[in-house]
Every structure is written in structure tokens, then in C-alpha cells.
Amino acid sequence: MDSFAQSVYRTESVAEVIALYDEHCTTYEKRICEEGKFKGPFTLVEAVTKEVPECRRKEVRVLDVAAGTGMVGEALAQKGFTNLDALEPSKGMLEYLRSKNIYTNTFHEYVGQDHTNVPQGCYDLVFVVGGMGYNHIPFTGVLEFVRFAKPGGLIMICMRHDEEDYMSNLKKYMNSLEEQQLWKKEFSTPIKDYLIGTDGILFVYQVL
Ligand SMILES: C[S@@+](CC[C@H](N)C(=O)[O-])C[C@H]1O[C@@H](n2cnc3c(N)ncnc32)[C@H](O)[C@@H]1O
């Protein structure tokens, strides 16, 4: 049988991918972590805890984009973060996430649509793990992350690095946002064996 990650990779539309997440919401964590050995959540939590000292973790307002079942939020809550919101378009994943009672506000929506209920300009940290890529968040969605964050806020993007066209367009778009002085790059770091033998990358930007 395919791993869950391989099934996701083979989907051909956003609707198909969301239906897959809906269907597998209760087994996602076991399948993606055990079969896929997904390093995304671990990498993100390590980066966030390095950036935010313990004394600030109760005050920083955090938005988890494409939050899935809330695995990352759960790990951050264990590290002392208490002000977490989540955005997730799959109803199944969102219901699973809500049952954990970690997030204050949850938004049932996609990044990349015209309208959003997410408050603008008020997050200290906006992050996404595994939500960027084909049939997921369009590369232009990073502009929405900039709008969600407050000036000085951080944006962290943790993703696979093997989708060549997508990555090339994303990097050009990120550079164009930097030229427009909307954000500045802090650093990026490669992630070896991010997901089933695929390498990944973590991008960290600061909103200006
Ligand atoms: C690989 S899962 C990652 C979930 C979670 N962040 C984690 O680390 O376990 C990708 C998530 O992206 C969400 N997603 C797909 N397209 C999206 C979009 N356009 N906007 C927001 N989320 C999207 C899916 O519903 C799914 O929950």
C-alpha cells in the first residue's frame, strides 16, 4: 500500500487533496509520522522555540496555517505557547484539531481565496508546515501570511523542496515581496529527509 504522503502527492486537484485529508483525518498523524517519517513539525517547533524565549511564549500571538490535525500546535502548547489560532480548509482535520482544545480561534478556510475571516496585521508569528505545494496553498499565498502578521512579526514556512516549478515560482515571488519591502529574509535552512526520502526547506522572514 502507498504511504499517505505518496497518495497526497498523486492528487490532481485541490478538491481531491482536501477530500483525502477529510477521509484520513483520524489516521493522518499515525500515517504521516510513522510511515512518512515527517520531519516538518519537529523542525518548525525547534525553530520557533529557538526564536521565542520561554518568558514571551504566553504573550506571542501565533497563527498555524494549514494546521491539519493540530500536531504542531499541540507541540507548541507543550512548550508553553497559549495564544494559538489555526486556519484549515479540511472539515475533518479541523474537527479533529478542535477536539484537542489547544487553539483559541479556528478558521475553516483556504489560503488563496478572495475573502478571509482571519484578522489582519495582528500575529507575532505566522507559520505553515506541509501546506505549501502543488494542489495545496498557491505560491502567491505567502502575501496573505504577510497581511496576517504584524510589523516585526515572523513568518516561517516549512516545506518539501522537490516540486521544481512551484519552488522556482515561490522563490521569485518571495524575492519580489522583499524588493517591495514587505518583508526581509532572515534565513533559510535545508531539511535532510524531510518526508519519505524527500528533502525540505525552512524559510524564515520578518515582516516590515
Ligand atoms: C501535509 S498537511 C500538514 C498539516 C499540518 N500542518 C502538519 O504539520 O501536520 C497539509 C495541510 O494543508 C491543508 N491545505 C491544503 N490546501 C490548503 C490551502 N489552500 N489553504 C490552507 N490549507 C491548505 C490541508 O487541508 C492539510 O491539512
pLDDT at position 119, please? 97
pLDDT at position 34, please? 75
Burial of residue 3, with CB atoms counted within 10 A of its CB: 0-12 exposed, 13-18 middle, 19 or more buried: middle
Nearest CA to ligand 1 atom 13: 66
pLDDT at position 36, please? 65
pLDDT at position 201, please? 98
Distance 85 CA to ligand 1 centre (A): 14
Q: Indicate the number of domains in the chain.
A: 1
CB distance 68 to 97 below 8 Å:
yes
pLDDT at position 116, please? 96
What DSSP line would sit under the chain, residue for residue? ---HHHHHHT--SHHHHHHHHHHTTTTHHHIIIIIS---HHHHHHHHHHHHS-GGGTTT--EEEET-TTSHHHHHHHHTT---EEEE---HHHHHHHHTT---S-EE---TTSS---SPSS-EEEEEEES-BSTTSB-GGGHHHHHHHEEEEEEEEEEEES--HHHHHHHHHHHHHHHHTTSEEEEEEEEEEEEETTEEEEEEEEEE-
Ligand 1 pocket check: which of 137, 140, 159 to mutate, most ligand atoms within 8 Å of Cβ?
137
Residue 32 structural domain: 4-207
pLDDT at position 9, please? 81
Which residues of the chain, if any, have pLDDT below 70?
Answer: 1-2, 36
pLDDT at position 4, please? 80
Nearest CA to ligand 1 atom 27: 68
Distance 185 CA to ligand 1 centre (A): 23
**Residue 99 belongs to domain with CATH number:** 3.40.50.150
pLDDT tens, residue by residue, 87-133: 999 999 999 999 999 999 999 999 998 899 999 999 999 999 999 99
